Structure 1
Amino acid sequence: MTTTDSAKDRVSAKSSAALRAAMARLFAGHPERTDGRLTKENLWREAQVSRATMNRAHSVLAEWDAHITQHGKTTPGEARRDETITDLRKKLAAKTQESTRLTKQLQAAAIAIAALHHDNEALREELSERASTVVVGIGPQRRRPR
């Protein structure tokens, strides 16, 4: 911390160092005392200083705001989580689409099987009717000369 920073901040060097260390841990995604979200509340809790002390550390807050503006409020862990969620959503959509396709294919097969079953039953009935019909002839059958 420079002399200008200490005059501007109105916090002790120890508090400023604690805030900077906490800020570095939060940005790296390795919090020790908080859930790791990039909020100012987590900053002062992570640094184990009061909110008022953090609010007097203007240069630290300026660095915090600059980093958040440039990189956003997403921690590395949250970014990995969001990427995993996006990937899983894409896989789920593909599996849902495949499931829908296979369901339609299964329904078409069931209809074809039902139609074949109906045809098979009709053929069996026709065959049994033919078998039950007895051919009655009069006298012995003779062969015709060729």
Structure 2
Amino acid sequence: MTAPHNRALTEDGVSAKTAAALRAAMRRLFDGKPQHTDGRLTKENLRREAHVSRATMNRATPILAEWDNHVGEHGATTPGEARRDDEITQLRRKLAEKTRESMITNRRLEAAAIAIAALHHDNTQLRQELAANGGRVTPLKRHTTR
């Protein structure tokens, strides 16, 4: 024989106290201000946050429907997770921009290295020609203007 229920059930299928606890827990989780869980938007966290049993929570079908509707509309990320995801997206954009800048700089450095190598080659040849001529330098005539 089961004991008679001393608590009146609300339209939520649970006592008014339990319904209030579940709704308060839902608000805390949706606002990103959990008190008793890690804040992830899971029904297990809702149950723990409200300090009710799984069976009691499962009897509160209208409240669970509200939960499902909210999670369906807003996603299962908490405000903290959304901020983290936004920050990751911004950091990825910055990384892509810096990578692009680095590639441009590397191309410029490679072009400069090629130019320097060509100049070094020319300089070496000129020095060899100078040595072959006995080190004599042929002066250029000065151009004078009047």
TM-score bucket of the superposed structures, by smaller chain: 0.7 to 0.9
Alignment of 1:57 with 2:60, yes or no, is: yes
- Aligned ranges 1:100-119 → 2 under 5 Å: 100-119=103-122
- The residue correspondences of 1:1-146 to structure 2 (distance < 5 A) are 6-9=10-13, 11-131=14-134
Gaps of 5+ in 2: 1-8, 137-146
Q: Which has the larger radius of gyration?
A: 1
Q: Which moved more, 1:25-34 or 1:68-77?
A: 68-77
Q: Deviations over 1:91-130 (max 9, x none)?
A: 1111111111111110111111011011101111111111
Q: Is the 8 A contact 2:12 2:63 kept in 1?
A: no
TM-score, normalization by structure 2: 0.81
Structure 1 residue 12, shift from structure 2 partner: 2.1
Count residues in correspondence.
128
Quick one: distance in 1 between partners of 2:38 and 2:51? 14
The TM-score normalised by the length of structure 1 is: 0.81
How far apart, CA to CA, are the structure 2 residues paired with 1:132 and 1:97?
A: 49
RMSD: 1.6
Higher helix share: 1
Identity within the alignment, %: 66
Unmatched tracts of structure 1, length 5 or more: 134-146
Conserved 8 A contact 2:32-2:39: yes
Runs of 4+ with >2 A deviation: none
